[in-house]
Structure 1
């Protein structure tokens, strides 16, 4: 009798409040990693393949709206409602610097992260720096951190001069929701929570050079790994734009309002979307036909992202969990091998956790989220 094919997710517990952002690192010699942002004030780092919890970055006193990893997964950054963005050592969990802002920070993005993951809008800029110059302390390629938020100001911090004043673009038409760099580090995506469309800015002139028109405010943007497409989610629509000429390539109506969408990176034949109906939908990129529907979350899905190799994708929800789904369904027998502990925590990979523990990354209680009384939503 043929085994029935089902999609069995790995369920990652630990956050005590909604998960609002997910970011996969590129593939490194140690594998790839997943960092999650949650309203519980504590970003979490996980093995990107297995979902195994590695550690928690502690220090924020407000909701975390965005988090990311640099190219080599050596440093992390987080944007918070406590009016700060923080830079972390991803190996030790230590706070390296806190960039103070005057209002809620909604988004952060490292430069030189390739075309992995980004959200909302576009900022065209020309930053000249020596790509061969690398900080001696950690041999990172990343040089800049971009932030944006309620202040309506885009800031670019030089990570080689942490105390230096940031470069600013302060004429955003509204509160910035998310930001990210494009591959060349000369373009950035940036848009607003209260304004429709995605805007391209020229930092040299400080002016908008083009707008990707949408009918609703854009809640998610991602650039495909091959640099061909920009994927946006607005209202109940997912759109794909030419990443070089910025023309609209495809537009698909979704079965519900969606908050996030992601294009499969390897072949670009599928995309996923998640939103208010609590499901993660899989669609054919070329036709828009729905190929599958992954159920399991108990609240709206706020974020979805494909892993860098495309073998799996992750979703984060209002229910406080992260679920990692295999791109290809497995049989019931195979799913037994993917089971988690009774509590829902995936079994730790000893080598990976040991590598992090040797460097001292905080491995306290997985559900620990800091001082919840001080957490601030926005």
Structure 2
């Protein structure tokens, strides 16, 4: 599995995301730049320039038409994927930590940080998909402040009226998108900060990673923990493989202690775990520092990781990956 190493960022990666067709990979970083890459050869297709601070988060809609990004410059921006042009910008009092499109692409949810006397806020915006995309509603359709532990991650849940959120305390919760009321919560989903949250294609279950050195699979409707994957290192990201019963976990010791640890000790590998049997089945090396973000192609033919070292690595799976029988002789039908 020879990876394509994509050296297009000068600082550590914060999030990477495939488009729904799996032919493009978007990456954002602390160097203020968003890049887009061809996944088949790792070549850079272009950049989205305009942010004046760390770009913490991005998401792309199901038609690969719009890209949304959130940054430490206190703005959320809507971009044309094709032209790289910034179509609209929303301004907030604090940094935007997470953004996500709804299933129908008609809404965006974003979380802004709790800082300098401002409460952490969740805002939901309608997206005007008519015309060229430059005419967007300035005000959110709804906005609320989650009480208690700080919210760090958000996504639309299995139904459009619910927002799924991960918190600093390790809590995972469902909120009503209109009223901001907490509908359901699992206070003990993790014992420490939830660092990533990725949903399955049908949004019926999701995976979270945490600084408590575990990743967990949860049912979206009930927030029940279905599976736990325990490692010996803090985790920054977790993704669900397509078409195979695996989950991919990435992390490593924090950047401060990297200089004093060897690569092997630092645990800077992407780990493959069997989704059902909760057993580690393999590791992929490559990064020279902690892995900050992992994404799996919707086609299931490759995965990508972004590290503290500023590199994006795209790994296309070998033929043996598709031939292996993860359940032994048992044939599982999709």
TM-score, normalised to structure 1's length?
Answer: 0.73
2:289 alignment partner, SS class:
coil
Preserved contact between residue 158 and residue 164 of structure 1 (Cα < 8 Å): no
For residue 123 of structure 2, the aligned residue among 150, 155, 159 is 155
Are 1:90 and 2:81 matched, yes or no? yes
Residue correspondence of structure 1 range 93-104 to structure 2 within 5 A: 93-104=84-95
Q: Which segment drifts farther, 226-235 or 257-266?
A: 226-235
Are 1:320 and 2:310 matched, yes or no? yes
Higher relative contact order (CA 8 A, sep 6+): 1
Offset from partner CA, 1:53-104 (integer Å, 9 cap, x none):
1110000000000011111111111110001111101111111011001011
Preserved contact between residue 83 and residue 104 of structure 1 (Cα < 8 Å): yes
Give the distance between the partners of 2:231 and 2:40, measured in 1 at CA.
Answer: 28
Are 1:198 and 2:184 matched, yes or no? no
Are 1:256 and 2:233 matched, yes or no? yes
Preserved contact between residue 106 and residue 176 of structure 1 (Cα < 8 Å): no
Q: Which segment drifts farther, 165-174 or 231-240?
A: 165-174
Unpaired runs of at least 5, structure 1: 1-6, 113-140, 332-378
Question: What's the offset of the Cα at 1:12?
Answer: 0.9
Preserved contact between residue 158 and residue 221 of structure 2 (Cα < 8 Å): no
Give the distance between the partners of 1:265 and 1:169, measured in 2 at CA.
Answer: 34
Question: Paired residue for 1:216?
Answer: 192
Offset from partner CA, 1:140-187 (integer Å, 9 cap, x none):
x62222111214101112222624311211234344322222354233
For residue 246 of structure 1, the aligned residue among 223, 227, 232 is 223
Give the distance between the partners of 1:330 and 1:321, measured in 2 at CA.
Answer: 26
Are 1:290 and 2:264 matched, yes or no? no
Question: Paired residue for 1:335?
Answer: none
Question: Paired residue for 2:17?
Answer: 23
In the superposition, relative to structure 1, how do residues 94 and 42 fare at CA in structure 2: closer, same or farther (>3 Å)? same
Preserved contact between residue 226 and residue 265 of structure 1 (Cα < 8 Å): no
In the superposition, relative to structure 1, how do residues 196 and 50 fare at CA in structure 2: closer, same or farther (>3 Å)? same
Offset from partner CA, 1:241-275 (integer Å, 9 cap, x none):
122332111112113111111111223x1111000
1:265 alignment partner, SS class:
coil
Preserved contact between residue 154 and residue 168 of structure 1 (Cα < 8 Å): yes
Preserved contact between residue 178 and residue 191 of structure 1 (Cα < 8 Å): yes
Question: Paired residue for 1:237?
Answer: 214
Give the distance between the partners of 1:179 and 1:281, measured in 2 at CA.
Answer: 24
Question: What's the offset of the Cα at 1:189?
Answer: 2.2
Give the distance between the partners of 1:86 and 1:229, measured in 2 at CA.
Answer: 29
Higher strand share: 2
Give the distance between the partners of 1:163 and 1:310, measured in 2 at CA.
Answer: 36
1:210 alignment partner, SS class:
strand
2:87 alignment partner, SS class:
strand
Question: Paired residue for 2:261?
Answer: none
RMSD: 1.9
Question: What's the offset of the Cα at 1:190?
Answer: 2.0
Preserved contact between residue 153 and residue 172 of structure 1 (Cα < 8 Å): no
In the superposition, relative to structure 1, how do residues 285 and 330 fare at CA in structure 2: closer, same or farther (>3 Å)? closer
In the superposition, relative to structure 1, how do residues 51 and 186 fare at CA in structure 2: closer, same or farther (>3 Å)? farther
For residue 12 of structure 1, the aligned residue among 6, 19, 37 is 6
In the superposition, relative to structure 1, how do residues 171 and 241 fare at CA in structure 2: closer, same or farther (>3 Å)? closer
In the superposition, relative to structure 1, how do residues 252 and 63 fare at CA in structure 2: closer, same or farther (>3 Å)? same
Preserved contact between residue 107 and residue 176 of structure 1 (Cα < 8 Å): no
Offset from partner CA, 1:262-305 (integer Å, 9 cap, x none):
111223x1111000121111111122222211111001000111
In the superposition, relative to structure 1, how do residues 171 and 330 fare at CA in structure 2: closer, same or farther (>3 Å)? closer
Preserved contact between residue 162 and residue 177 of structure 2 (Cα < 8 Å): no
